[in-house]
Amino acid sequence: MKAYKKLVEKYERIHHLSHMQSIVYWDQQSMMPSGSSNARAKAMAEFGMIIHEASVDKEISILINDAMAENLNPLEKASLYEMEKTYSNNTILPSTLVKAQSLAHSKCNHIWSEQRENNNWKDFEPSLKEVVKLSKEESLIRSEKSGLSAYDSLLNLFEPGMKSETLDGIFADVKTWLPELIENIVEKQKSQSFKKPQGIFEIQAQKDLGIKIMNHLGFDFNKGRIDISAHPFCGGVPEDVRLTTRYDEKDFLQSLMGTIHETGHACYEQGLPQDLLALPVGQARSMGIHESQSLFFEMQMGRSKEFLKSIHPYIIESFGKKEELELDNLMKIYSKVQPSLIRVDADEVTYASHVILRYEIEKALINGQIETSDIPDMWNNKMQEALALDTKGNYKDGCMQDVHWSEGLFGYFPSYTLGAMNAAQQFNTVKKVYANINDSIEKGDLTQIKSWLKENIWENASIYSTDELMKRATGETLNPKYFKAHLENRYLS
């Protein structure tokens, strides 16, 4: 197995380089002074090239071919398959395009963070146009090699095996029942009143509360930390996870759930098999599975009556005993369904509408049906159609609210709703396996949940395909009916 062992050594080196790249990115988002952006963009582009060159080393191709003739066990065969797929994805693009993309993404990201605050689409759009141009170049190259459509060739980088034809069917079905469901829930909740927490919730108190909840959820602070950024994310590597969130002194509720969400991502990373971390097979299966873990934590469990009851003492300890912080009032707030402009602040019922809107726009953009200049009007039209909300002239809360397109992450957005569907299906299985799971959550005992996730999702990493992973974990491949049933049970029962 000389060839396979040499491959392992090469991918371990790439993993170490990627570790440093991820920390530099985290620093850019959370710590870097704004005046350093140009120099950082050039440095990240250069570092990106070093990783790219290591990833496209021609010797890897030779070693992969040699390893195929070796006597490998099933895990090593799965590992070799992921190596081959990763190598193919990396080598298909010319180094000049990779460098141009790295520079364009870094610059666009910085311009986005400045111009979003200024609601300035005019000065942001040229940098986005360049990112889209380069993404379309990438999509055409990948499309020619894979035989997939331009958009599907990018979608597969985040959701291996998924096609827009399948997504179109899933989302078309959601659009047949979701509007009526939203309408029914909003009507039902008209008779429910709650008091919005008032006052100043000090940032330090919010940080301390978040850390308590992260500990409660099992995050290992010896191998990670949490900081502040404009857009919450989970980065780093499994051995060094970096979370970020954002705080509002007038509202701790969104930050709390945002922290729980990112902790779901982080626990997945920390739960990946330790002996495979440096290899492609040891990484998260797909972004849809990754999002299923964050939404399992935040939505399936985090907004449940049982979980809120278990963390309620922490909230009172942080902000004092107030009428608006009573458990019943918090439960009403966290189950409130109300169409809103901001995706990351949306309730779990209307959230799918936000995702479908972005999916339809980015698919049309990459497939050449629209230009970047068409985005604001198309966004507004779809927002009005889906949630009866107007974003005309409001770019900050409309088409400029997300960082994803600035970073060239086309094909990523569907993962959010696929994640919600996967999470609902997984939690449905957990409830079948552990009949007393709600009682355990209420008591603050997450042992059963963590055990099931670790055994069925985390430790399997990318050993199996997404379909096989879900089938092994839940008994069937993705079935959106569990997502619909979850929403109906939680909000209409």
How far lies 285's CA from each of 184, 269, 470, in Å?
Answer: 36, 11, 11
**Residue position matching structure tokens 């954002």:** 246
Count how many Cα atoms sit within 13 Å of the Cα of residue 317 in the half-sphere of its side chain. 10
Count how many Cα atoms sit within 13 Å of the Cα of residue 70 in the half-sphere of its side chain. 18
Give ∠ CA 54-60-66 in degrees, rounded to 5: 165
pLDDT at 14: 96
pLDDT at 476: 97
CATH of domain 165-492: 1.10.1370.30
Q: Give dist(CA 401, CA 365) in Å, integer.
A: 17
Q: Give dist(CA 356, CA 171) in Å, integer.
A: 7
Give ∠ CA 54-55-56 in degrees, rounded to 5: 95
Among residues 138, 262, 269, 298, which one is catalytic?
262
Q: Give dist(CA 316, CA 442) in Å, integer.
A: 16
Gyration radius of the chain's alpha carbons: 22
* 262 in active site: yes
Q: Give dist(CA 299, CA 241) in Å, integer.
A: 22
Q: Give dist(CA 22, CA 3) in Å, integer.
A: 28
How far lies 440's CA from each of 95, 301, 436, 444, in Å?
Answer: 52, 11, 6, 6
Strand order, beta sheet including 234-237: 224-228, 240-245, 234-237
Q: What is the pLDDT along the chain (493 residues), one digit of tens a residue?
A: 699 999 999 999 999 999 999 999 899 889 999 899 889 888 888 888 899 899 999 999 999 999 999 999 999 999 999 999 999 998 999 888 988 998 999 899 999 989 999 999 999 999 999 999 999 999 999 999 999 999 999 999 999 999 999 999 999 999 999 999 999 999 999 999 999 998 899 999 999 999 999 999 999 999 999 999 877 899 999 999 999 999 999 999 989 999 999 999 999 999 999 999 999 999 999 999 999 999 999 999 999 999 999 999 999 999 999 999 999 999 999 999 999 999 988 999 999 999 999 999 999 999 999 999 999 999 999 999 999 999 999 999 999 999 999 999 999 999 999 999 999 999 999 999 999 999 999 999 999 999 999 999 999 999 999 999 999 999 999 999 999 999 999 999 8
* CATH 1.10.1370.30 domain position(s) in the chain: 165-492
pLDDT at 221: 98
Q: Give dist(CA 141, CA 88) in Å, integer.
A: 12
**Residue at 107: amino acid letter:** K
Q: Give dist(CA 129, CA 149) in Å, integer.
A: 21
Q: Give dist(CA 464, CA 473) in Å, integer.
A: 11
Judge whether 450 and 218 are in contact, CB under 8 Å: yes
Q: How many CB atoms lie within 10 A of CB 65?
A: 11
Per the structure block, which two tokens stand in for 168?
Answer: 């179109």
Per residue, what are the HEC states of the chain? CHHHHHHHHHHHHHHHHHHHHHHHHHHHHHCCCHHHHHHHHHHHHHHHHHHHHHHCCHHHHHHHHHHCCCCCCHHHHHHHHHHHHHHHHHHCCCHHHHHHHHHHHHHHHHHHHHHHHCCCHHHHHHHHHHHHHHHHHHHHHHHHHHCCCHHHHHHHHHCCCCCHHHHHHHHHHHHHHHHHHHHHHHHHHCCCCCCCCCCCCCHHHHHHHHHHHHHHHCCCHHHEEEEECCCCCEEEECCEEEEEECCECCECHHHHHHHHHHHHHHHHHHHCCHHHCCCHHHCCCCHHHHHHHHHHHHHHHCCCHHHHHHHHHHHHHHHCCCHHHCHHHHHHHHCCCCCCCCHHHCCCCCHHHHHHHHHHHHHHHHCCCCCHHHHHHHHHHHHHHHHCCCCCCCCCCCCCCCCCHHHCCCCCCHHHHHHHHHHHHHHHHHHHHCCCHHHHHHCCCCHHHHHHHHHHCHHHCCCCCHHHHHHHHHCCCCCCHHHHHHHHHHHHC
**Angle of helix 150-158 versus helix 351-366 axis, rounded to 10:** 130
Buried b (16+ CB within 10 A) or exposed e, 187-223: eebeeeebeebeeebeeebbbebbbbbbebbbbeeee
pTM over 0.85: yes
Q: Give dist(CA 291, CA 294) in Å, integer.
A: 5
**Residue at 22: amino acid letter:** S
pLDDT at 45: 83
